[in-house]
Chains A and B, each alone.
Chain A
Amino acid sequence: MNAPLLEIEDLHASAGGEEILHGIDLVVRAGEVHAVMGPNGSGKSTLAGVLAGKPSIEVTRGKVSYFGRNLLDIAPEERAREGIFLAFQYPVEIPGVSNMYFLKTALNAGRRHRGQEELDAIDFLALVREKMKLMQIDEKMMNRSINEGFSGGEKKRNEVLQMAVLEPRLAILDETDSGLDIDALRIVSNGVNALRSPDRSMIVITHYQRLLDYIVPDFVHVLASGRIIKSGGKELALELEEKGYAWIDGGAGR
């Protein structure tokens, strides 16, 4: 078995003074795709926030290690440069900074960190154009401000485009499928699947089983009220779809 890339042990976390995660254990190895499913309010986004280093979430107990390092001690930007990528459920709009400039800065920050040479404008453009094609994002969109005036689907495609350019070791997709029509869902899933590789792991957080028809996971975990209450293979998602969250939760899901 591969060495673990991410190990979460007894993770407790609070936001706004309220404990939301009550002891999560999860091990992710290289190349694995883990789906985390659960009803609204179960703590899915809080888990994603902990991994990315969101400042408003406080870890009160437990350990998270990434390649053997204590992840919780590392600043969000360094996590990113070390290969952690969070695709946001609600990507932020930042007027006044173009997508293109932003992405080039981000990519080169990571490359510098890893001792690689920075890409110049020409090489960067060649790289990003190839990924844009995959995500069906045109140049006009890239020259616009970050997510400004983008539709929900465009924002999600832009998240996956960033992921494709930054080539993370661990990608966390936080409800990337929410609010997408079937065409957008296909584009987003194709983009994600194109990135699957033996040394890249993913945590796919979703509310709906539908996404897992397109991104087939190796493992499925069900999160309810801040705990993983059931884990299994991809068939667990189907079972969940059939019987609803109430089946697992005993109706206690918040």
Chain B
Amino acid sequence: MAALDPRQHYGEGFDRFERALGAAAPGWLKALRKDAFGRFAELRFPSTKQEEWRYTSVAPIAERAFELASDGAAELSRDDVEHSSFPVYACSLFVFVNGCFAPRLSAPRALSGSPYVESLASVLEHAPERLEPQLAKLAPYDAASFVALNTAFLHDGALVQVPEGVTVEAPIHLVYLSLPDQNPRVSYPRTLVLIGRGSHATVIEDYVSVGAGLGFTNAVSEVRLESNAQLDLVRLQREGGNNFHVSDVHVEQARDSRFIAHDFSLGGALVRKDVSAHLAGEGAECTLDGLYIASSRELVDNHTLIDHARPHGTSRELYKGILSGAARGVFHGRIVVREGAQKTDARQTNKNLLLSRDAEVDSKPQLEIAADDVKCSHGSTIGQLDEASLFYLQTRGIDAPSARRFLMRAFASEVTSRIRQEPLRDEIEEILLERLAREETGVL
């Protein structure tokens, strides 16, 4: 393959985008995109020489000529959506095809239980001044190529804005559906979640793919929690085997706010997720739970950062991985406790199940503590399925593959059981079971 110059390739794409989709944007957004693209052109794609990317080579992304995926919603029906996603929250379902809002596939706004969801494109068209102070304020791109690229192509996505003092009962289900065709396609899902003082919402980011083409999802989410607000964020990555997924979540937490993330990665050619939470106010709580499953030659890399900037913050982090075949997992959990962030209570755990000799995991905790009155702990384990448990299940008539699935499911349940909405938890467990059934092929 001829070496691809990402500056040139994405530069041409960017020019086309600016002339077509991006043309109608307000001046500040055009300037933002231009700046972001300029940054990407300087940074280009990260290399494994950079500490943050040491275990993950993005060469497979860099060397492919991904073209911007166009809005393919016209080719899809609601059946396709129901088939690839789950219809539990049909009345608050918002579908984005290749990053663009698809109203026809979504819940009718009039019937929707969530008047709090809008498409970024629509707000940019009708009231861009609402977004100017919020958009791209939390996800910095000066040192992050993928965020820069996503920002350069920013034109649509989801805005979830809950005003002060509102509890939104029905989970808001955002489906990011990628629809690659015969050419490699990239899409740039973008999410902005603003939860007002004392408000509470549950948001599901569901990344799926339809069809067998080669897709690259480059997603950025920004979350701002005002004081005493709470967001339960469920993220489900499941574009599948051929696809690439890189995503960044940036969370800013005011005083006494609570951020609870349940992050599921079901594998892909290359999955890289960064989550960073900035506990900017006193007494903020952050829970990051994650489960990653990878088989054959898949790679799933999770990088998390919890930044305790103020006193009395609490963070709980539990990431678990199930790796088979020649799959690789990476967990890098960084916890920063800044000077003055006294009485911080941070706990981090990473547990991995390796189902084959060739599977591999790199687990790296990184604690940077500049305060002296804090509780911080971390632990990491790597193990195999327990032989005694397998035998016990077999002696009750359960065949070996099913017994292995039982134990994998049991391993995963520590993460899934923390999802509070029961229908959602059941649905995700169902999805995991299906995924784990495929895990068998990778078992020795």
B399 touches A109 (CB 8 A): yes
Answer whether A94 and B394 are a contact pair too, CB < 8 Å, given A55-B387, A77-B399, A105-B402.
no
Given contacts A94-B410, A97-B406, A97-B410, contact A166 B388 (CB under 8 A): no
Mark contacts of B401-444 with chain A using CB atoms, 8 A cut-off: 1 yes-contact digit, 0 otherwise: 01100110111111001000000000000000000000000000
Complex CA–CA separation, A75 to B398 (angstroms): 11
Q: Are A85 and B395 in touch, CB under 8 angstroms?
A: yes
Cβ-neighbour of B398 out of A52, A53, A85, A106 (below 8 A): A106
Min Cβ gap B273→A in Å is 24
A176 at the interface (CB under 8 A from B): no
Query: How distant is the Cα of A97 from the Cα of B388 in the complex, in angstroms?
Result: 15
Q: Does B24 belong to the interface (CB within 8 Å)?
A: no
Whether B394 contacts A77 by the Cβ 8 Å rule is: yes
Establish whether residues A109 and B397, one from each chain, have CB atoms under 8 Å apart when the complex forms. yes
Q: Are A96 and B392 in contact, CB atoms less than 8 angstroms apart?
A: no
Give the residue of A77, A88, A145 whose beta carbon is less than 8 angstroms from that of B397.
A77
B417's nearest neighbour on chain A, judged by CB, is A96
Report the bound CA distance from A92 to B410 in whole Å: 13
Q: Render A178-199 as a binary contact track against B, CB cut-off 8 A, 1 for contact.
A: 0000000000000000000000
Interface of chain B: mostly helix, strand, loop or mixed: helix
Q: Kindly name the residue among A77, A85, A92 whose own CB sees the greatest number of chain B CB atoms within 10 A.
A: A77
Q: Given B388, B398, B411, B412, which contacts A109 in the complex, CB threshold below 8 Å? A: B398
A76 contacts partner chain B, Cβ-Cβ < 8 Å:
yes
Say whether A91 faces chain B, with CB atoms less than 8 Å apart.
Answer: yes
Q: Name which of B392, B396, B402 has the most chain A CB atoms within 10 A of its CB.
A: B396
Assess whether A106 is in contact with B391, with CB atoms less than 8 Å apart: no
In the assembled complex, which residues on chain B have CB atoms less than 8 Å from the CB atom of A107?
397
Interface string of A60-88 (1 = CB under 8 A from B): 00000000000000011101110001101
* B66: min CB distance to chain A, Å: 39
A55 to B389, CA, bound (A): 12
Contact partner, B389, options A52, A77, A94, A109, Cβ 8 Å = A94
In the assembled complex, the Cα of A80 lies from the Cα of B399 at a distance in Å of: 10
Evaluate contact between A88 and B392: CB separation under 8 angstroms: yes
Contacts of A53 in B (CB 8 A): 394-395
Known A96-B411, A102-B396; further 11 A-B contacts with Cβ < 8 A:
A52-B391, A52-B395, A75-B399, A80-B395, A92-B388, A92-B389, A94-B410, A95-B414, A105-B398, A106-B396, A106-B398
11 contacts between A and B (CB under 8 A): A75-B394, A79-B395, A92-B389, A92-B392, A94-B406, A95-B410, A96-B414, A96-B417, A105-B402, A109-B402, A113-B397
Q: Give the top 6 A-B pairs by smallest Cβ distance, nearest first.
A: A96-B410, A96-B413, A80-B397, A106-B396, A76-B394, A109-B397
